[in-house]
Every structure is written in structure tokens, then in C-alpha cells.
């Protein structure tokens, strides 16, 4: 059996088109197109450039189909963001970026409408201002004219699918990032929409992963490829390809780090809420029980900020500089709100260090070390919360995604958590996207089979705790920083 599918994996910093070539039980990935994702800034608002994304999808399709016969394509992206369409199906404006400051303070919209406890019960989602619900309430309250003109809200991958096929649907995993779905039924929570006076008609029907959405519109002049709703939330696709069928903890590590586990049923207890853990929807109606943590974002931004000053460090150089610096000189809460917006990371880290009476990291290696160690501690802190909320012990921590190629980070995580770390696949999201398409084509029968297969065909590396004690001794210092907030 021989079959090629095309995966589009869009992240906050780049987008890729990857051909998954399945041949007699083997899978080869070939990146046929890659581009930097752009943030547009207009009148003090941060936008995604939808025309540019579409243009790059079409380039990706062209490159892939020029080279191979392609059976289908699937798109996954980050969560929560959306496009607003008018009655004629046209975009009302470019999609606003979740890092835009428009939702700052929007949790106050809840006050008279619903308690935080009730909202958690109803949605199972971690309270974050970036969630679709708060973005939409911001539009409704601050731009009522625009709100009036909205006919449909399409989440990012569904918007791109619509632009390709003309068909509007919402895929289940991406819907679960909105804070507008029911964590048990995984369907829209219409009661909640009523409560917030968001018309249910704004949201297209939910379909499950594997749905055949339609064919590429002929107007593009490209082969009429079938578009499949994969697990469109990048995290859902990444977790689909975790190479383990046991009860596992995962960190899907990219710009964000999603730290969690997979469950049969959501957990919406008081404890889970206190820990601000979220329930998102995964393949086969599973629940991804996790926390959204800042991931490599601060590292990426530091790297970019240095580059702007003429110091363009490669990741190998960064690792080298980091390893040479003293351990535990300064720790930060990588989720402190000051680190959310782009730019000035060195200054922000130093301000944090000053406020918390720590030694100021000055040199690049010291700054990177500070962030890597703080991330490893954040993962420990969060896994402890998850273990407590689930009431289970786990013996392996799977790190998938870009961060899994950093031996430095993976070793730190093993040391910090005291757990065996299984790192890889690096391309987890793209593989998850491809696997879903292969399941739709009945090449693979089940997620169980897929994970056993991924274990066999991908290169994973194991890391074992080596400096457990040193990290344990420092943990209280880190905890104190977080508990103060
Ligand atoms: C990761 C991710 C997270 C989501 C964040 C913002 O790429 O999808 O799951 O919370 O991006 O949408």
C-alpha cells in the first residue's frame, strides 16, 4: 500500500507543508514548503495575515502536487483565534492575534453573568483571557457595530478549510479551545451562549476528526484534493502521536508548553479548577487534561531580540552558552503576564529578578539558562498539580514537538521532575495530522495501532534523572516565587 497525504501545520512563528509518504508500513515525511508566520500590527492591534496564510497554503499544495499524487490534506493550527464572516461569507477583517492586548481585563465581563466556578463546570476550560469566549465578548462590548455584522465565527483552521473548500464546519478539538463547549458532550454549550447573548447561529456545526469536508475549489486551478478535518488543534494532533499507549504524562513543547495527560472523562473538580487545569477534546472523544504554560516563547523572543542587536545565535550556540553558566542563579515565573507580549525579554527578566531580589542575569548564556531552568521547574510544578488532580502516578513523561530536540532542556526536565523522559517525535503535530488522514483512508485502524507504530518508526531518546537532588533542593525557591503571586 502506497499513499501520500499533505499536512499543514501552522504555529505562531512558522507554517509548514509536509507530505506524509506512507509505503508498506513505513512513513516518510518531506517538508515541501515552509514560511515565517507574520504578525501584522495596524492601529495598535496585532493581526494574523489571512491572505498570506492562504497564499502559502496554495504554494504548499502546488509544490506537493507537482511532485506527488496527493490523496488528501489536513490543517492544524494554534487554538482560540478566529475569523469573523459576514452574510456573504466574506471576512469582515483580518483575524486578531491572541497576543493582542484587547482582552486584557476581560475576565471582569463575567462578574454579573456567571461565577468562575460555574463557568468551569460548564466548560471544563482553564480561565484565560485569550480564550475565544473573552475575545468575542470584547468584540461585542467594545465594537458593537462589528459584532452586529457577524454571521459566522470560524476558528482558524476551520476558516482556512472554508477558504479552500467553501464549506463551514467546526472540528471538535479546536472547538474545545473556545470555552464555549460542554466538556462531556464536546458539543457547543448553547446554554452558555444564551447566557452571554452570543447567538448560537454564529457557530457552525461541530464535526469529529476524520470528517471529509469537501474538495479544493476548482477556482484555484489546482488538483481537487480532498480536505479532511484532522484534529485541527495542534496540541490535539501532537498528543495523538505520543508514542505511548500507557497512562502517560506529556509536554507538547513549542512556543507554548502544554503539560498534561489523556483521560477518558473530563475532570472538573474544585481541585482541578484551583490548579486552573483545562479539559480539551482529543481524538476519539478523549479529554486532554492539561495546563497551557508558556513554552519556548521567551527563548524565541530572547533569540530574536539579540538578533535585532546584531547577535544571531544558533540553538547550538545557545546551548553551549547556557551549559557554561552557573546553575540556579535566577529563576522566573515564565507565565508572569509581563512575558506574554513580544519584545524586551532581557529587560523584563531583569526587572523580574530585581523585584524578587535575585542576582541579575546579564550575559546571554545567563539569560537563556534562567529561562530553561525556570521552564523545567514549571513543568515539575505543573506535573505535580496534574498528578494530584488525577490521583495517579505516572512513570514516563513524553516530550513531543520542537522542544524535544533540546537535549539540554530534556535533561533538565528529567532532573527537575525525577522522571524518565521520553523525547520525540519532534514532528509530533505533523505526524498526528498525517495519522488522522491515514485513519480516514483506513490505512490505520485505531489510535492504539497508530501509537504502537509511531513507537516503532520514530526516533525517540530517553533521558534519566542525573542531578535530582540538586534540583530538589532548589525547588522550594521556585515554589516561593509562584506562591507569592
Ligand atoms: C499551542 C496552542 C495552545 C493554545 C495556544 C494559543 O500552539 O494551540 O494549545 O492555548 O496555542 O492558541
Pocket test for ligand 1, best of 48, 79, 250 (most atoms within 8 A of CB): 79
- Is 387 found in the same domain as 305? yes
- Is 294 found in the same domain as 205? no
- Is 303 found in the same domain as 188? no
CATH label of the domain that carries residue 389: 3.30.420.40
Q: Kindly report whether the peptide bond that precedes residue 425 is cis, defined as omega within 30 degrees of 0.
A: yes
Judge whether residue 160 has pLDDT over 70. yes
- In the chain, the number of structural domains is 2
Q: Is 234 a catalytic residue?
A: yes
Work out the pLDDT band at 484, boundaries 50, 70, 90: low
Measure Cα distances from 350 to 221, 320, 377 in Å: 53, 22, 19
Cα(235) to ligand 1 centroid in Å equals 7
- State whether the beta carbon of 257 lies less than 6 angstroms from ligand 1: no
Residue 413 falls in which region: left (phi positive, over 0), alpha (psi -120 to 50) or beta? alpha
What cell does 245 get?
A: 499507549
- Is 52 found in the same domain as 130? yes
Does the residue 439 lie in any domain?
Answer: no
Helix (H, G, I), strand (E, B), or coil: what is residue 140? helix
- State whether the beta carbon of 77 lies less than 6 angstroms from ligand 1: no
What cell does 385 get?
A: 498539580
- Domain extent for 168: 2-234
Q: In 10 A of CB 219, how many CB atoms? A: 7
- Is 249 found in the same domain as 180? no
Cα(221) to ligand 1 centroid in Å equals 33
Q: Strand locations in 49-127, DSSP E?
A: 72-76, 82-85
217 in Cβ contact with 166 (< 8 Å): yes
Which residue among 234, 263, 292 closes a domain? 234
d(CA 72, CA 51): 22
Judge whether residue 485 has pLDDT over 80. no
Work out the pLDDT band at 109, boundaries 50, 70, 90: confident
Which residue among 204, 234, 264 closes a domain? 234
Instruction: Exactly one of 76, 234, 336, 415 is catalytic; name it.
Output: 234
Does the residue 434 lie in any domain?
Answer: no
H or E element that contains 34:
strand 26-36
To the nearest whole percent, how much of the chain has pLDDT over 70?
100
pLDDT tens digits for 12-55?
889 999 999 999 999 999 999 999 998 899 999 999 999 999 99
pLDDT tens digits for 311-327?
999 999 999 999 999 99
- Is 403 found in the same domain as 465? yes
Does the residue 314 lie in any domain?
Answer: yes
pLDDT tens digits for 413-457?
999 999 999 999 999 999 999 999 999 999 999 999 999 999 998
Nearest Cα neighbor of 422 from 245, 294, 300, 296 is 245
Does the residue 25 lie in any domain?
Answer: yes
Does the residue 417 lie in any domain?
Answer: yes
- Is 129 found in the same domain as 265? no
- Is 480 found in the same domain as 399? yes
Helix (H, G, I), strand (E, B), or coil: what is residue 227? strand
Does the residue 431 lie in any domain?
Answer: no
Mean pLDDT for 273-286 is: 95
- Is 148 found in the same domain as 68? yes
d(CA 11, CA 485): 30
Work out the pLDDT band at 1, boundaries 50, 70, 90: confident
Q: In 10 A of CB 327, how many CB atoms? A: 12
- State whether the beta carbon of 235 lies less than 6 angstroms from ligand 1: yes
d(CA 401, CA 124): 25
Which residue among 234, 267, 289 closes a domain? 234
Task: Indicate whether this complex's ipTM tops 0.90.
Answer: yes
Does the residue 343 lie in any domain?
Answer: yes
What cell does 120 get?
A: 468551569
Measure Cα distances from 430 to 20, 98, 194, 274, 360 in Å: 9, 22, 37, 33, 39
Amino acid at each position: 500500500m502506497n499513499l501520500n497525504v499533505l499536512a499543514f501545520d501552522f504555529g505562531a512563528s512558522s507554517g509548514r507543508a509536509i507530505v506524509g509518504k506512507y509505503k508498506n508500513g513505513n512513513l516518510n515525511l518531506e517538508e515541501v514548503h515552509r514560511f515565517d508566520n507574520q504578525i501584522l500590527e495596524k492601529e495598535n492591534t496585532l493581526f494574523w495575515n489571512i491572505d498570506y496564510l492562504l497564499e502559502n497554503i496554495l504554494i504548499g499544495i502546488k509544490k506537493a502536487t507537482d511532485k506527488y499524487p496527493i490523496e488528501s490534506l489536513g490543517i492544524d493550527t494554534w487554538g482560540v483565534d478566529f475569523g469573523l464572516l459576514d452574510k456573504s461569507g466574506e471576512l469582515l477583517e483580518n483575524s486578531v492575534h491572541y497576543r493582542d492586548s484587547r482582552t486584557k481585563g476581560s475576565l471582569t465581563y463575567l462578574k454579573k453573568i456567571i461565577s468562575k466556578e460555574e463557568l468551569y463546570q460548564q466548560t471544563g476550560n482553564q480561565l484565560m483571557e485569550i480564550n475565544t469566549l473573552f475575545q468575542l465578548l470584547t468584540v461585542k462590548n467594545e465594537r458593537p457595530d462589528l459584532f452586529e455584522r457577524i454571521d459566522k465565527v470560524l476558528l482558524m483552521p476551520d476558516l482556512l478549510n472554508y477558504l479552500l473548500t467553501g464549506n463551514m464546519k467546526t472540528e471538535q478539538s479546536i472547538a474545545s479551545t473556545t470555552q464555549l463547549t460542554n466538556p462531556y458532550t464536546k458539543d457547543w454549550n448553547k446554554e452558555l451562549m444564551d447566557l452571554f447573548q452570543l447567538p448560537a447561529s454564529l457557530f457552525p456545526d461541530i464535526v469529529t476528526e476524520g470528517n471529509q469536508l469537501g474538495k479544493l475549489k476548482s477556482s484555484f486551478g489546482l488538483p481537487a484534493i480532498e480536505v479532511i478535518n484532522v484534529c485541527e488543534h495542534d496540541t490535539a494532533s501532537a498528543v495523538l502521536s505520543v508514542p505511548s499507549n500507557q497512562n502517560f504524562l506529556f509536554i507538547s513543547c513549542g512556543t507554548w508548553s502544554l503539560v498534561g495527560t489523556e483521560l477518558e472523562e473530563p475532570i472538573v473538580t474544585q481541585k482541578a479548577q484551583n490548579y486552573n487545569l483545562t479539559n480539551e477534546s482529543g481524538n476519539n472523544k478523549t479529554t486532554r487534561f492539561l495546563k497551557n504554560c508558556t513554552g519556548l516563547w521567551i527563548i524565541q523572543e530572547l533569540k530574536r531580540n539579540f538578533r535585532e542587536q546584531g547577535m544571531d545565535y544558533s540553538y547550538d550556540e545557545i546551548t553551549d552558552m547556557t551549559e557554561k553558566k552557573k546553575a540556579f542563579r535566577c529563576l522566573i515565573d515564565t507565565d508572569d503576564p509581563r512575558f506574554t507580549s513580544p519584545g524586551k525579554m532581557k529587560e523584563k527578566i531583569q526587572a523580574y529578578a530585581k523585584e524578587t531580589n535575585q542576582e541579575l542575569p546579564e550575559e546571554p548564556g545567563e539569560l537563556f539558562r534562567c529561562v530553561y531552568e525556570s521552564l523545567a521547574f514549571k513543568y515539575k510544578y505543573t506535573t505535580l498539580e496534574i498528578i494530584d488532580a488525577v490521583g495517579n502516578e505516572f512513570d514516563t513523561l513524553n516530550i513531543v514537538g520542537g522542544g524535544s530536540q533540546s537535549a539540554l532542556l530534556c535533561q533538565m526536565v528529567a532532573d527537575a521532575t525525577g522522571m524518565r523522559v521520553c523525547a520525540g517525535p519532534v514532528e509530533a503535530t505533523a505526524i498526528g495530522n498525517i495519522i488522522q488522514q491515514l485513519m480516514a483512508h483506513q490505512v490505520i485502524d485505531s489510535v492504539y495501532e497508530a501509537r504502537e507504530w509511531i513507537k516503532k518508526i520514530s526516533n525517540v531518546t530517553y533521558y534519566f534523572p542525573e542531578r535530582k537532588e540538586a534540583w530538589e533542593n532548589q525547588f522550594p525557591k521556585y515554589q516561593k516565587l509562584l506562591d507569592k503571586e
